[in-house]
Amino acid sequence: MEISLLLLTLRLTLGLSEGGSEGVRTVASTLKCSLQGSKRLPAFTMNGDFIIGGAFSIHYKELTKTHNYTAVPEPPSCARGINSRELRFSRTMIFAIKEINNSTELLPGVKLGYQIYDSCASVPVSIQAAFQLSNGQDPAFQTDKEQYPTFFRTIPSDQFQADALAKLVKHFALKEGICVDYIESFYRTDPTSKIREVANTIRRSTAVVVVAFTAAGDMKFLLEELAQDPPPPRQWIGSESWVTDPLLMSFSFCAGAIGVAIQQSVIPGLRDFLLDLSPSEVAASSVLTEFWEDSFNCNLTERDPLAFYELVNWQKSESGVNELITVGYYDASLPKGQEFRIYKNLTWMKGSVQDNSNGQG
């Protein structure tokens, strides 16, 4: 059986640091590096006695800039386009830290804080965030528990996942044998011609199994290219990042894909936390503002307090006295044309009544 391999990984970096008046400093290590250029601001931050750092690909890609080499380059920034799945992961980290802080049993007398960076799914930005979290220590070696006892992973290393995928291929192809037809690597910021070249390799190859070890954001670009001219039926074997992404399941030619996934569990209170975003909380975060605007097709860039009014109506009581009745509300954060919600009957001049009992007024 011929198979093909697509290789690419990005990793989540977490580090536990000690907070103090001088900022964040890691607990151990003598190896120091100097961060060049401007520091990157975290997407989400909260002070604490100890700081937990994280980096997530909240945006799909880095904004492309042209440098003329006559001035210091501007700090990298993300192109517009929120990855809601990665945003959910970052918010889940915040939820976990808040749950620990609210517990009287886990870390009594200790407040955890966090610094969460948006890597823009960019290798340079990811490295910059990693250096900031490590305060100049070389992050490439932080899996050494003796040198870096405060560095830890939320899930096993990608190396274990790669081993599992290799064993998965061998498990289903044990009797037929395995022959690797090609190995391709790519990244989402590669030119379109490069991604098209990878797609054409898949289309032309006689390999019927494609093993794709890649991030969901990169796989999205490849599948979009393949969708323009779908290849013959292929058996896709995928890494956790893309094979569990609901947004990629719309590519019908990948039906039957198989892969590994992180074990799911029910986390009490998480769903309510993710959905309970107040307008003030949204307005205070550029990331959440962009997410809100994209989700509800509205504009919050003014950053003024969001208008929310009750809609009131003078209505006569049974005794003939005018009473002030709340009949609905106006919410400026809602999509255009949907700002008004009227859920009670309205009384107009001369006593005419508009029935809004169905809430559609």
Model confidence over 147-175: pLDDT tens digits? 767 666 767 778 888 888 888 888 877 45
Mean pLDDT of 307-317: 84
Domain contains 280: no
Residue 209, pLDDT above cutoff 60: yes
Report the alpha-carbon distance of residue 312 to residue 172 in Å, rounded.
67
Hey, what are 328's tokens?
Answer: 């609905």
Question: Which of these three, 141, 173, 196, is where a domain ends?
Answer: 141
Rounded to two decimals, what is the model's pTM?
0.67
Domain contains 179: no
The DSSP string of 105-145 is SSSTT--EEEEEEE-TT-HHHHHHHHHHHHTTS-GGGTT-T
- AA identity, residue 306: L
Confidence of residue 259 (pLDDT cuts 50, 70, 90): very high
Which residue range is the domain that position 42 belongs to? 14-141
CB 341 within 8 A of CB 359: yes
Q: In CATH, what number is assigned to the domain containing residue 115?
A: 3.40.50.2300
Domain contains 216: no
Question: Which of these three, 88, 123, 141, is where a domain ends?
Answer: 141
Confidence (pLDDT) at 12: 34
Q: What does DSSP assign to residue 188?
A: T
pLDDT digits (tens, 9 = 90+) for 335-350: 778 888 888 888 887 7
Hey, what are 154's tokens?
Answer: 């939320």
Q: What does DSSP assign to residue 152?
A: -
How do beta strands 235-238 and 340-342 pair?
A: unpaired
Domain contains 151: no
Top-ranked range on mean pLDDT: pick from 10-19, 59-68, 136-145, 222-231: 222-231
Report the alpha-carbon distance of residue 168 to residue 181 in Å, rounded.
18
Domain contains 63: yes
pLDDT digits (tens, 9 = 90+) for 39-83: 888 999 999 999 998 999 999 888 887 777 888 777 788 998 899
Report the alpha-carbon distance of residue 241 to residue 228 in Å, rounded.
23
Hey, what are 119's tokens?
Answer: 């890597």
Report the half-sphere exposure of 316 (CA within 13 A, side-chain side): 9
Q: Please give the backbone phi and psi of residue 354, each rounded to the nearest 5 degrees, phi first.
A: -105, 120
Confidence (pLDDT) at 302: 59
Mean pLDDT of 255-261: 91
Identify the residue with better confidence: 10 or 336: 336
Confidence of residue 24 (pLDDT cuts 50, 70, 90): very low
Confidence (pLDDT) at 271: 92
* Mean pLDDT computed over every residue of the chain: 81
Q: Helix/strand/coil (H, E, C) string of 57-115? A: CCECCECCCCCCCCCCCCCCCECCCECHHHHHHHHHHHHHHHHHHHCCCCCCCCCEEEE
Mean pLDDT of 9-13: 34
Largest CA distance in the chain: 90
Domain contains 337: yes
Confidence (pLDDT) at 268: 93
pLDDT digits (tens, 9 = 90+) for 261-299: 887 788 999 999 998 888 888 888 999 999 988 888 777
Confidence (pLDDT) at 222: 95
Domain count, the chain: 2
Confidence (pLDDT) at 344: 87
CB 53 within 8 A of CB 17: yes
Domain contains 181: no
Where is 225: in which H helix or E strand? helix 216-227
Q: Please give the backbone phi and psi of residue 163, each rounded to the nearest 5 degrees, phi first.
A: -60, -40
Confidence (pLDDT) at 129: 86
Confidence of residue 137 (pLDDT cuts 50, 70, 90): low
Question: Which of these three, 141, 166, 184, is where a domain ends?
Answer: 141
pLDDT digits (tens, 9 = 90+) for 82-129: 999 899 999 999 999 999 999 999 999 999 999 999 999 888 888 888
Domain contains 69: yes
- Among 208-222, 227-241, 252-266, 326-340, the range scoring the smallest mean pLDDT is 326-340
